[in-house]
Amino acid sequence: MPEDSMDKPYIATCTAPVNIAVIKYWGKRNEELILPINSSLSVTLHQDQLKTTTTVATSRAFLEDRLWLNGKEEDITHPRLQSCLREIRRLARKRRNVGDPDSTDFAGLSHKVHICSVNNFPTAAGLASSAAGFACLVYSLAQVFGVEGELSGIARQGSGSACRSMYGGFVQWIMGNKDDGKDSLAQQVEPETHWPELRILVLVASAERKPIGSTSGMQTSVQTSCLLKHRAESVVPVRMEEMIEAVRRKDFSAFAELTMKDSNQFHATCFDTYPPIFYLNGVSQQVIHLVHRYNRHYGETRVAYSFDAGPNAVIFTLQQYVPEFVRVVQHFFPPDTNGEDFIKGLTVKRATLSEELKQSIGLEPIPKGINYIISTKAGPGPRVVEDPSQHLLSPDGLPKKTV
């Protein structure tokens, strides 16, 4: 490399998706390596609606590692961030040692990194921002350092659920048995094209920060909940097999019932934690009743809910039921305006509700209980952004004014 280009940063920008678990991960057997007590399975959401974008740059001119998240400079010494950086550098060094001459083309390994990351959705709103964030960080670092291949084991060390965001479609995180975690990896079960009719609606109940973070919440659950132990040992292994089957066969009612039961059991383990943890609120409860009454009205399972460590409901349904179900949500959670703003993402056709359906659901409406709905579907895994004008860092290594 010519001497004068050595001061120019190596730069890469990537995007990564959010994922929603339908068989939940809750509890670690190794805190440092982030090894789970059970396997889990998720659906990767489409990046057109929900994504993290990250630019990573390395340059001889940088004096220290620096990080900007959603426009604010943050501490880069966080141990999980450091684990991801260390592991990517280790892989890059290994690749160089096995004699790939191309990988020595840049001297980036000893250089400092600048990282700039933004979400197109509210951080810490219970929308798994850490999963998309760490997946994007690891994918972008790998680009800059010229590392290829299996990266979910590194993303896992940033945040457990992040390993599943390294793939599109339907993804399982196999818990593994080894003490060093080498076999605790994510794997695609089916690609995003497998089930095109599947739709996902994120019902944003609150954009506030969650009361207890997943990391400390699951720690207390492991220490105190005997229901969690039973769940991990006896319930999840069977459910994983059933869920993979349901996805492969595109059997919506089997998929939906397992999804709801698993979300409910996860929240039951939270209540079984001592002192108990509550992530659901009154709005979440109303959504649960609404879904069951809607399904009962039709005598079949057309809609399912799932909740993570926060009150937002994630609804799974099929394309043909979306317009009516959205109207149902709008009726039982009347928004401020009768507005277009209520539904973001994929266009939803207008539908009318029958009096019969409203009566058979028969719940008392909660005005403004839901801020808005994001309508989306399953989507692909992380992507490289080729267009240099999309970099979040300028050539001097500082965030662009627009970030």
Window of 155-163, 186-194, 347-355, 366-374 that interacts with ligand DP6 by CB under 6 A: 155-163
34 or 118: CB nearest ligand DP6: 34
278 or 298: CB nearest ligand DP6: 278
Which of residues 130, 269, 317, 376 is near ligand DP6 by CB under 6 A?
130
Q: Does 225 bind ligand DP6 (CB under 6 A)?
A: no
34 or 57: CB nearest ligand DP6: 34
Which of residues 47, 53, 140, 161 is near ligand DP6 by CB under 6 A?
161
Q: Does 24 bind ligand DP6 (CB under 6 A)?
A: yes
115 or 322: CB nearest ligand DP6: 115
- Which residues from 270-289 bind ligand DP6, rule CB under 6 A? none
| Shortest reach from residue 214's CB to ligand DP6, in Å | 4
Burial of 347 by CB count in 10 Å (0-12 exposed, 13-18 middle, 19+ buried)?
Answer: exposed
Which of residues 25, 139, 170, 333 is near ligand DP6 by CB under 6 A?
25
Burial of 77 by CB count in 10 Å (0-12 exposed, 13-18 middle, 19+ buried)?
Answer: exposed
Q: Does 160 bind ligand DP6 (CB under 6 A)?
A: yes
Which residue is nearest to ligand DP6, using beta carbons? 160
Give me the residue label for tokens 């550098």: 89
Q: Does 308 bind ligand DP6 (CB under 6 A)?
A: yes
Window of 19-27, 184-192, 270-278, 293-301 that interacts with ligand DP6 by CB under 6 A: 19-27
Window of 99-107, 147-155, 156-164, 338-346 that interacts with ligand DP6 by CB under 6 A: 156-164
Q: Does 309 bind ligand DP6 (CB under 6 A)?
A: yes
Window of 9-17, 97-105, 157-165, 180-188 that interacts with ligand DP6 by CB under 6 A: 157-165
Whether 36 and 228 have beta carbons less than 8 Å apart is answered as no
Nearest 5°: phi and psi at 166?
A: -80, -5
Q: Does 220 bind ligand DP6 (CB under 6 A)?
A: no
Could you give the string, one character per residue 33-52, with x where binding to ligand DP6 holds by CB under 6 A and - elsewhere? -x-----x------------
Cis peptide before 9 (omega within 30 of 0): no
C-alpha to C-alpha distance for 47 and 121, rounded to whole angstroms: 11
Residues forming contacts to ligand DP6 in the complex (CB under 6 A) are: 21, 24-26, 34, 40, 128, 130, 159-161, 214-215, 308-309
